[in-house]
């Protein structure tokens, strides 16, 4: 079942870069809400509240309730612009969602029990996460905040594919409908390759020691 989170917003009438700059100086984040049967609406949000929310997965993958003077619209975050070096959110885009319409969005993956798995306990095995999120399709009410992958039994040589993910009821991965070649690896446990540098140096080196070169040169001179 999807979890919703309420965020208070204010309507903004002024448009343009100058107006957006003034909002940011006042501790607000300019944003826009679009989609559905309604026209796009320009809004602003409290920066500190949004910044705190942005530290959590749910802000990017959950249904958000934008509350404007008590009037609530259900939305998904579709775009976030950050300052290149400051801890500042510059602009947000939200898309309205319809409870009766299927939506498509990315959901983060949470990896469980990796360290206690046979692969995780082995010093000569490296576990790679090929994906950290996956695009799903579902109704808004079925949208999960994240999808868990239990790696408790992961061993050397194991590969977890997209089709092996345990999805909540009503949730699908559209990429899997495109064919077997789209059933990509999500997690791989492989052996660590350690190169023997000393052996490589002995077998492959063709360098002549400097002392040897000097000796040969002296003999040629004689």
| Number of domains the chain contains | 2
Residues 134 and 78 in one domain: no
CATH of the domain at 63: 2.40.240.10
How far apart CA 67 and CA 55 sit, in angstroms, is 20
Residue 47 falls inside a structural domain: yes
Residues 111 and 30 in one domain: no
Residue 197 falls inside a structural domain: no
Residues 87 and 107 in one domain: no
State the residue range of the domain holding 114: 103-191
Q: Are strands 28-34 and 125-129 parallel, antiparallel or unpaired?
A: unpaired
Residue 199 falls inside a structural domain: no
**156-209 pLDDT, tens digit each:** 999 999 999 999 999 999 999 999 999 999 999 999 876 545 445 555 444 544
Residue 202 falls inside a structural domain: no
Residues 61 and 128 in one domain: no
pTM assigned to the model: 0.77
Q: Rounded to 10 degrees, what is the CA torsion of 34, 37, 38, 40? A: 30
Are 101 and 138 contacting, i.e. CB atoms less than 8 angstroms apart?
A: no
DSSP 92-116: EEEEE--TTS-EEEEEEEEEES-TT
Spans of the chain below 50 pLDDT: 1, 196, 198-199, 204-206, 208-214, 217-222
Are 182 and 161 contacting, i.e. CB atoms less than 8 angstroms apart?
A: no
Q: Which secondary structure element, helix H or strand E, spans residue 210, and what is its range? A: helix 210-221
Residue 33 falls inside a structural domain: yes
Residues 111 and 131 in one domain: yes
Of 96, 111, 135, the position where a domain reaches its end is: 96
Residue 206 falls inside a structural domain: no
- Give me the pLDDT at residue 36, please: 86
- Give me the pLDDT at residue 37, please: 85
Q: What are phi and psi of 41, to 5 degrees?
A: -125, 130
Residue 168 falls inside a structural domain: yes
Which of 143, 27, 28 is CA-nearest to residue 77? 143
Residue 161 falls inside a structural domain: yes
- Give me the pLDDT at residue 3, please: 58
* Positive/negative CA dihedral, 47, 53, 59, 63: negative
- Give me the pLDDT at residue 113, please: 98
């Amino acid at each position: 079942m999807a979890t919703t989170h309420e965020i208070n917003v204010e309507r903004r009438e002024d448009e343009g870069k100058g107006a957006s700059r003034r909002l940011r100086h006042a501790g607000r984040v300019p944003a826009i809400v679009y989609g559905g049967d309604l026209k796009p609406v320009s809004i602003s949000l409290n920066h500190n509240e949004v910044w705190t929310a942005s530290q959590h997965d749910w802000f990017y993958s959950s249904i958000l309730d934008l509350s404007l003077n008590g009037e609530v619209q259900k939305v998904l975050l579709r775009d976030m612009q950050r300052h290149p070096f400051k801890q500042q959110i510059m602009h947000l885009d939200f898309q309205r969602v319809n409870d009766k319409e299927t939506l498509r969005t990315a959901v983060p993956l949470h990896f469980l029990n990796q360290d206690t798995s046979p692969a995780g306990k082995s010093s000569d095995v490296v576990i790679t996460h090929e994906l950290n999120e996956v695009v799903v399709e579902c109704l808004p009410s079925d949208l999960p905040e994240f999808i868990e992958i239990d790696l408790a039994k992961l061993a050397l040589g194991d590969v977890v594919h997209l089709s092996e993910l345990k999805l909540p009821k009503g949730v699908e991965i559209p990429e899997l409908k495109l064919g077997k070649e789209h059933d990509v690896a999500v997690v791989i446990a492989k052996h660590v390759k350690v190169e023997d540098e000393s052996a490589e140096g002995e077998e492959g080196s063709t360098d002549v020691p400097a002392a040897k070169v000097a000796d040969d040169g002296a003999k040629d001179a004689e």
